[in-house]
Amino acid sequence: MAKIVFHGQSCIELVAANGTRILVDPFLTGNPRADVEASHFEDRLDYVLLTHGHGDHTADAWDLLTRTGATLVGTYEIVTYAGEVHGIENAHPMHIGGGWDFPFGRVKMTIALHGGKIDGPNAAGYTTQPAGFVVELDGTRVYLAGDTALTRDMELLRDQVDVALLPIGDNFTMGPEDAARAVDMIRPNMAIPIHYGTWEMIDVDPNQFVRAVGDLAEVRVLEPGDALNL
């Protein structure tokens, strides 16, 4: 049985039944709500998935990838940046609309409407397109929306997703009302709010999201450190 662990902001750990450990958007150093430090993942890390280049998604990525030898999965531009600037060669480039069958399951890269800057040293010239992922893990399809506005393209995910992790923090991404409209478009069985409460600018009460979703889907509000078996 696959497992999801929330580590604050958009940092999500996915663990497959066979032990494969995947970390999405590692932001632990400097994350006031993170429950663990980056070193927590040093004993085993197989994949790092990056939705986009902003620091609240990539803070620990380059260092963790270098130290653990995990495989980076991201856009062509992010993978090129990681290789040329940080010397990270264990990487799999993808782009929006494309899918790939990894040993743990299929990953498809989805549209996100957001900013494309890559935060990090010597990142000029590596601007990317932000993205989301649908990760199939032990038969469960998990949608990690990344940082995004509500977009009608989400209708294309209807009935393709079992669990949807959606940003609700407003200001930089969808707020709780728009995230609930995304649930209405996608119709997952379960929705999990992310990317809120880390700082004042995204200090949103997740119960607003719970109320707005109503009975469209089961909503699970996770505190940093909470794990959920899929």
Out of 46, 136, 147, 178, the only residue in the binding site for Mn ion (CB under 5 A) is 147
203 phi/psi in degrees, rounded to 5: -85, 85
Rounded-to-integer distance, Cα 42 and Cα 218, Å: 33
Report the 3 state secondary structure along 43-107: CCCCEEECCCCCHHHHCCHHHHHHHHCCEEEEEHHHHHHHHHHHCCCCEEEECCCCEEEECCEEE
Is residue 178 at the binding interface for Mn ion, with CB under 5 A as the rule? no
92 vs 172, which CB is nearer to Mn ion? 172
Footprint of Mn ion on 99-138 (CB under 5 A): none
Rounded-to-integer distance, Cα 66 and Cα 91, Å: 11
Name the minimum Å distance from CB 52 to Ni ion: 6
Name the minimum Å distance from CB 139 to Mn ion: 29
Is residue 77 at the binding interface for Mn ion, with CB under 5 A as the rule? no
Burial of 98 (0-12, 13-18, 19+ CB in 10 A): exposed
10 vs 140, which CB is nearer to Mn ion? 10
56 vs 178, which CB is nearer to Mn ion? 56
Closest residue by beta carbon to Ni ion: 54
Beta pairing partners, 229: 3
C-beta separation of 27 from 10 below 8 A: yes
Is residue 60 at the binding interface for Mn ion, with CB under 5 A as the rule? no
Name the minimum Å distance from CB 211 to Ni ion: 26
Name the minimum Å distance from CB 56 to Mn ion: 4
Is residue 56 at the binding interface for Mn ion, with CB under 5 A as the rule? yes
* Residue 141 contacts which entry, Ni ion, Mn ion, none (Cβ below 5-8 A, type-dependent): none
Residues that bind Mn ion (CB under 5 A): 56, 147
